[in-house]
Amino acid sequence: MCLKSGEMLDRHWMVVTEDGHMVTGRQEPRLVLVSLTCEGGQVSLNGPDMEELKFPVHQLDNPVMDCRLFGSDVQGRDCGDAASDWLGRFLKAEKRFRLVHFEPQLKARRPAEGEPLFPESEVVAYPDYGPVMLLSEASLQDLNTRVGKELKPEQFRPNIVISGCKAFDEDSWEDIQVGSVRLQRVMSCGRCLFTTVDPETGVISRKEPLETLKSYRLCQPEEQHIYKKSPLFGQLHTVKRAGVLQVGDAVYKIVR
């Protein structure tokens, strides 16, 4: 289950090494400058100072790769040499990378294998864990005030951004309704080095806003076995009922 807009499915594309290990902005910060869109059965890859590359979404003659994502096995359809060459030029990398695409019949991941709080039935493609990560504008503004810099939501990669609530209200929303979609909170989102990659420049600082988050958003002692020393920012949800949601939809907290 994941968010979908037109032909684009969320977290269904991944850069990997030639032996299938994931590559993200943690290892290659400039990856955050790459945009991938799908329309008319074609994928478009774009990046600063790069010519646009187009190729078919479905390339069934290409091999399926066995990949590794956070220690879990998953598969992806290789997107071809042209996409690999494009990534190599953009990243100016000495080693070769591949772009893979998840298809419904391929081996997916079960978040419960890495985080037992997720239901055993949950399957995902390439997100860290949950299919939906929710963050409020008020929480981001609270962090911005403390950091002294105007950070954007993209720095934290949420699927859904909520306005009109108080900072960190989302921490207590166990069930919510957005449009015709029902979401259920599973756990907080423990943040890592990726938060220090600037989404506009592709530069990694390795310090902020992670250090500020650690100063006031660590978990309670009884939850350290779950989050360890990762600060919490945003909430991970599963989809209880699929449906349609749109920008501007009201968000309802479900009270039992």
Radius of gyration (Cα) for the chain, nearest Å? 18
Query: Could you list the residue range(s) of the whole structural domain that residue 70 is in?
Result: 4-108
Number of domains in the chain: 2
Indicate if 59 and 150 belong to the same structural domain.
Answer: no
pLDDT tens track for 50-64: 999 999 999 999 999
Indicate if 96 and 135 belong to the same structural domain.
Answer: no
Mean pLDDT of 102-129: 93
CATH number of the CATH domain containing 195: 2.40.33.20
* Residue 32 near residue 199, CB atoms below 8 Å: yes
Indicate if 196 and 159 belong to the same structural domain.
Answer: yes
Last residue of a domain, one of 77, 108, 139: 108
Is the confidence at residue 26, as pLDDT, over 70?
yes
Work out whether strand 35-39 and strand 42-46 pair parallel, antiparallel, or are unpaired.
Answer: antiparallel
Cα separation, 171 vs 34, whole angstroms: 31
Domain-located, residue 36 = yes
Buried b or exposed e, range 122-160, using 16+ CB within 10 angstroms: bbbbbbbbbbbbbbbebbbebbeeeeeeebebebbbbbb
Is the confidence at residue 49, as pLDDT, over 90?
yes
Confidence of residue 1 (pLDDT cuts 50, 70, 90): low
Indicate if 161 and 227 belong to the same structural domain.
Answer: yes
Domain-located, residue 118 = no
Q: According to the model, what pLDDT value does residue 197 have? A: 98
Cα separation, 45 vs 87, whole angstroms: 9
Domain-located, residue 53 = yes
Is the confidence at residue 205, as pLDDT, over 70?
yes
Query: What pTM did the predictor assign?
Result: 0.94
Is the confidence at residue 256, as pLDDT, over 80?
no
Mean pLDDT of 178-196: 97
Q: According to the model, what pLDDT value does residue 2 have? A: 83
In order, the DSSP letters of 36-98 are EEEETTEEEEE-TT---EEEES--TTSPEEEEEETTEEEEEEE--HHHHHHHHHHHT-SS-EE
Residue of 97, 83, 102, 109 lying closest to 8 (CA atoms): 102
pLDDT tens track for 56-101: 999 999 999 999 998 899 999 999 999 999 999 999 988 899 999 9
- Residue 195 to residues 153, 212, 231, 232, Cα–Cα distance (Å): 10, 11, 11, 12
Domain-located, residue 121 = no
Distance between the two ends of the chain, CA-based, in angstroms?
25
Domain-located, residue 188 = yes
Q: According to the model, what pLDDT value does residue 134 have? A: 97
Mean pLDDT of 171-199: 97
Last residue of a domain, one of 74, 108, 142: 108
Last residue of a domain, one of 73, 108, 143: 108
DSSP strand E in the chain: where?
Answer: 4-5, 8-9, 13-17, 22-23, 35-39, 42-46, 53-56, 64-69, 72-78, 97-101, 132-136, 160-162, 175-178, 181-190, 232-241, 251-253
Indicate if 89 and 171 belong to the same structural domain.
Answer: no
Confidence of residue 123 (pLDDT cuts 50, 70, 90): very high
pLDDT tens track for 29-41: 999 999 999 999 9
**What does the mean pLDDT of the chain come to?**
96
Is the confidence at residue 131, as pLDDT, over 70?
yes
* Residue 204 near residue 196, CB atoms below 8 Å: yes
